[in-house]
């Protein structure tokens, strides 16, 4: 299918064998980034209605080309089976009509989100008489580096486009046919809907050197978003010269304070660990206050639900089924039915443990004591801090953002779930009446 859809000029050039061969990876990235930046300048001026129309056209194109996308996806799945991908990896890779429809619907959902571009952050008039307006603008050129899930191609493209950013996408080799088909369908739809042709580009090579060139393209690419496992994020964070929006680990804690409601604590602990163990917001460590009277019930419920518990000596004393935790356990993101458990003496000990071992993603306190909750919410320095809720709520959709490009644990720009607003920055507009500075 990729051949039957119209490619953008830069994509066509990038696909042309002769020119590809003569370019270094850095030259290829420069060419793509400059084409993207040029498209982005047009995109930045499109109204929210215009961007929404282009995205709805892209969603329609995904549906029109469903057969071709599924056929290309079948090639990837067959290759994955031949290459011995695990069942979980094949599941992430596989598309079917329902998943493809969900992908198109997700693009339409983004089209319906409020557009942050042009919003006034604040406005003031200073003594010189100048009026200052801080106004949201797109960040510019976003690089997305992702692994086997082909739906990221559509999701990330939609979020970037709706926030006025150009995107350069680089998906995993195992999904190369799927990604090309999805990108080609999206690009056709976006162009038909009035968006600039190079707004969303797919890196035309799986050469790993080209990924390295993306990571080093400071000044050409404004931000990199890695989407995938820890190995990918670690490599991107280590090598990037471009700012990276990401989180490495989700080592999320739930602290059950002495004044926690026992039934609420049991329900939340069970949910935070067992609802879905493989997501970054899943609880990985449970801290039980020594003064909380119902720790045994929570532990029993987790064990009965099939969770392996690894505890310190005081936790082990609560139930003989708890195995000893090693020093590494406190710093491990299991993403599995395993949980580390420690007994702590009061909120300060709990917050000390969290300060040492949290990955800064999401940490929660369960308590009926408002003062304890206020201290925890103020002093725990993670992107998301929760009171009386399951850490599994750490999600852009649950936060009312409509979608998310990822969850960030860095300390600049955007933290926690990041969606359209997190893909913008601002400029100062200064409105004068002839002021010359004394």
Binding site for its own copies (CB under 8 A): 41, 44-45, 124, 126-128, 130, 132, 137, 139-140, 218, 222-223, 237, 243, 261, 264, 267-268, 270-272, 275, 355, 364, 377-379, 381-390, 392-393, 398-400, 410-413, 415-417, 425-437
Residue with Cβ nearer its own copies (207 or 352):
352
Q: In terms of CB distance, is 104 or 401 closer to its own copies?
A: 401
Q: Round to whole Å and give the CA distance between 288 and 378.
A: 20
Instruction: Find the shortest distance in angstroms from Cβ 422 to its own copies.
Output: 10
Q: How far is the CB of 37 from its own copies (least distance, A)?
A: 10
C-alpha distances in Å from residue 308, one per residue of 274, 285, 353:
11, 12, 21
Nearer to its own copies, 312 or 333 (CB): 333
Nearer to its own copies, 59 or 386 (CB): 386
Closest CA to 73 of 161, 183, 197: 183
Write down the residue that tokens 């056209």 correspond to: 57
- Closer CB to its own copies, 232 or 399, in the complex: 399
Nearest-angstrom CA–CA distance, 55 and 69: 18
Nearer Cβ to its own copies (308/395): 395
For residue 221, the minimal CB distance to its own copies (Å) is: 10
Helix (H) or strand (E) holding 212: helix 208-215
Task: For 241-325, list the strands marked E by DSSP.
Answer: 252-256, 283-289, 308-311, 323-324
DSSP state, residue 353: H
Considering the complex, what minimum distance in angstroms separates the CB of residue 236 from its own copies?
Answer: 13
Least CB distance to its own copies at residue 150 (A)? 26
Query: For its own copies, which is the closer residue by CB, 183 or 376?
Result: 376
| Strand extents, DSSP E, 97-164 | 120-125, 131-138, 141-146
Considering the complex, what minimum distance in angstroms separates the CB of residue 138 from its own copies? 9
**Smallest gap from residue 33 Cβ to its own copies (A):** 13
Of the two residues 240 and 341, which places its CB atom closer to its own copies in the complex?
Answer: 240
Please report how close the Cβ of residue 395 comes to its own copies at its closest, in angstroms: 8
Compute the radius of gyration of the chain from its Cα atoms.
24
Helices 295-304, 262-274: axis angle to 10 degrees equals 30
CA 341 to chain centre: 28
CA–CA gap between residue 384 and residue 356 (Å, rounded): 16
The label of the residue with tokens 């306190």 reads 365
Task: Look at the block and give the residue holding tokens 């050409």.
Answer: 220
Smallest gap, in angstroms, from Cβ of residue 192 to its own copies?
A: 25
- Residue ranges of the alpha helices (H) in 16-96? 17-22, 25-43, 48-64, 66-82, 87-93
Cβ atoms of 291 and 310 within 8 Å: the answer is no
Q: Which is nearer to its own copies, 141 or 342 (CB)?
A: 141
Report the alpha-carbon distance of residue 71 to residue 340 in Å, rounded.
44
Q: Which tokens go with 143?
A: 């690089």
Q: Closer to its own copies at the Cβ: 153 or 271?
A: 271
User: Does residue 160 contact residue 142 with C-beta atoms inside 8 Å?
Assistant: yes
At residue 309, φ and ψ (nearest 5 deg) are -110, 130
User: What residue spans of 113-175 are helical by DSSP H?
Assistant: 151-162
Contact 291, 262 (CB under 8 A): no
The residues with which 343 forms a beta bridge, in sequence order, are: 288
Query: Quick one: 82 or 437, whose CB is closer to its own copies?
Result: 437
CB 74 within 8 A of CB 174: no
């Amino acid at each position: 299918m990729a051949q039957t859809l119209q490619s953008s000029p830069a994509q066509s050039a990038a696909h042309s064998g002769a020119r590809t061969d003569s370019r270094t990876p850095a030259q290829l990235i420069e060419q793509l980034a400059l084409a993207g930046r040029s498209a982005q300048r047009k995109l930045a001026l499109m109204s929210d209605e215009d961007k929404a129309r282009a995205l709805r056209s892209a969603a329609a194109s995904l549906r029109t080309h469903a057969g071709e996308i599924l056929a290309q996806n079948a090639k990837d799945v067959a290759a994955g089976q031949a290459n011995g991908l695990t069942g979980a990896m094949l599941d992430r890779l596989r598309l079917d009509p329902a998943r493809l429809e969900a992908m198109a619907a997700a693009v339409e959902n983004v089209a319906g989100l409020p557009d942050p571009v042009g919003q006034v952050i604040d406005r003031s008039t200073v003594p010189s008489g100048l009026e200052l307006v801080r106004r949201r603008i797109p960040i510019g050129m976003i690089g997305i580096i992702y692994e086997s899930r082909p739906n990221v191609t559509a999701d990330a493209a939609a979020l970037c486009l709706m926030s006025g950013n150009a995107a350069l996408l680089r998906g995993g080799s195992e999904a190369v046919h799927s990604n090309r088909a999805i990108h080609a369908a999206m690009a056709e739809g976006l162009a038909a809907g009035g968006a600039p042709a190079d707004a969303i580009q797919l890196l035309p090579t799986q050469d790993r050197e080209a990924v390295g060139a993306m990571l080093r393209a400071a000044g050409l690419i404004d931000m990199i978003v890695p989407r995938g496992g820890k190995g990918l994020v670690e490599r991107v964070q280590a090598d990037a010269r471009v700012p990276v929006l990401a989180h490495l680990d989700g080592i999320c804690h739930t602290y059950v304070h002495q004044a926690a409601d026992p039934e609420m604590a049991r329900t939340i602990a069970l949910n935070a660990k067992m609802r879905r163990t493989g997501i970054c917001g899943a609880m990985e460590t449970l801290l039980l206050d020594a003064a909380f009277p119902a720790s045994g019930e929570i532990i029993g419920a987790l064990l009965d639900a099939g969770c392996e518990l690894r505890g310190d000596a005081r936790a082990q004393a609560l139930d003989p089924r708890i195995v000893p935790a090693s020093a590494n356990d406190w710093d491990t993101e299991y993403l599995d039915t395993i949980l580390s458990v420690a007994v702590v003496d009061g909120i300060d000990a709990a917050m000390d443990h969290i300060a040492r071992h949290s990955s800064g993603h999401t940490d929660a306190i369960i308590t009926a004591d408002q003062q304890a909750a206020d201290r925890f919410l103020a002093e725990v320095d993670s992107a998301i801090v929760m009171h009386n809720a399951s850490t599994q709520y750490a999600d852009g959709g649950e936060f009312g953002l409509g979608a998310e490009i990822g969850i960030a644990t860095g300390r600049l720009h955007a933290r926690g779930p990041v969606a359209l607003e997190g893909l913008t920055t601002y400029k100062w507009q200064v409105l004068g009446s002839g002021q010359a500075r004394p």
